[in-house]
Structure 1
Amino acid sequence: MEFIADMMLGRLARWLRLYGYDTLYGVEDDDEILRMAGAEGRVILTRDATLAERARRLGIGVVLLESNSFEEQVEELRHFGVEFKELFPANARCPKCNGLIRHASKEEVKGKVPPSVYERYGEFYVCTDCGQIYWPGRQWREMVKIDRKLRGGE
Structure 2
Amino acid sequence: MKFIADMMLGRLARWLRLYGYDTLYGIEDDDEIIHVALREGRVILTRDSGLAERAGKLGAEVVLISSNSLEGQIDELRRFGLEFGELFPANARCPKCNGPIRPASKGEVMGKVPPAVYEKYDEFYVCTNCGQVYWPGRQWEEMVKIDRKLRGQK
Identity %: 78
SS state at 2:45 partner: strand
What is the match of residue 63 of structure 2? Answer: 63
The aligned amino acid for 2:122 is: G
The aligned amino acid for 1:55 is: A
User: CA-to-partner distance for each residue in 1:10-38, whole Å, 9 max, x for gaps?
Assistant: 00000000000000000000000000000
Q: How big is the shift at 1:46?
A: 0.1
What is the match of residue 132 of structure 1? Answer: 132
Cα-Cα RMSD: 0.7
Map 1:90-129 to 2 at 5 A. 90-129=90-129
Q: How big is the shift at 1:55?
A: 1.0
The aligned amino acid for 1:17 is: R
Q: How big is the shift at 1:48?
A: 0.2
Equivalent-residue separation in structure 1 for 2:111 and 2:51 (angstroms) = 46
Equivalent-residue separation in structure 2 for 1:133 and 1:44 (angstroms) = 29
What is the match of residue 77 of structure 1? Answer: 77
SS state at 1:13 partner: helix
Equivalent-residue separation in structure 1 for 2:75 and 2:52 (angstroms) = 19
Q: How big is the shift at 1:123?
A: 0.0
Equivalent-residue separation in structure 1 for 2:5 and 2:26 (angstroms) = 8
Q: How big is the shift at 1:92?
A: 0.1
SS state at 2:126 partner: strand
What is the match of residue 27 of structure 1? Answer: 27
Equivalent-residue separation in structure 2 for 1:108 and 1:77 (angstroms) = 37
How many residue pairs match? The answer is 154
What TM-score, normalized by structure 1, do the two folds share? 0.99
Structure 1 runs not aligned, ≥5 long: none
Q: How big is the shift at 1:59?
A: 1.1
The aligned amino acid for 1:2 is: K
The aligned amino acid for 1:32 is: E
Correspondence 1:11 to 2:15: no
What is the match of residue 49 of structure 1? Answer: 49
Q: How big is the shift at 1:144?
A: 0.3
The aligned amino acid for 1:85 is: G
Structure 2 runs not aligned, ≥5 long: none
Deviant stretches of 4+, over 6 Å:
none
What TM-score, normalized by structure 2, do the two folds share? 0.99
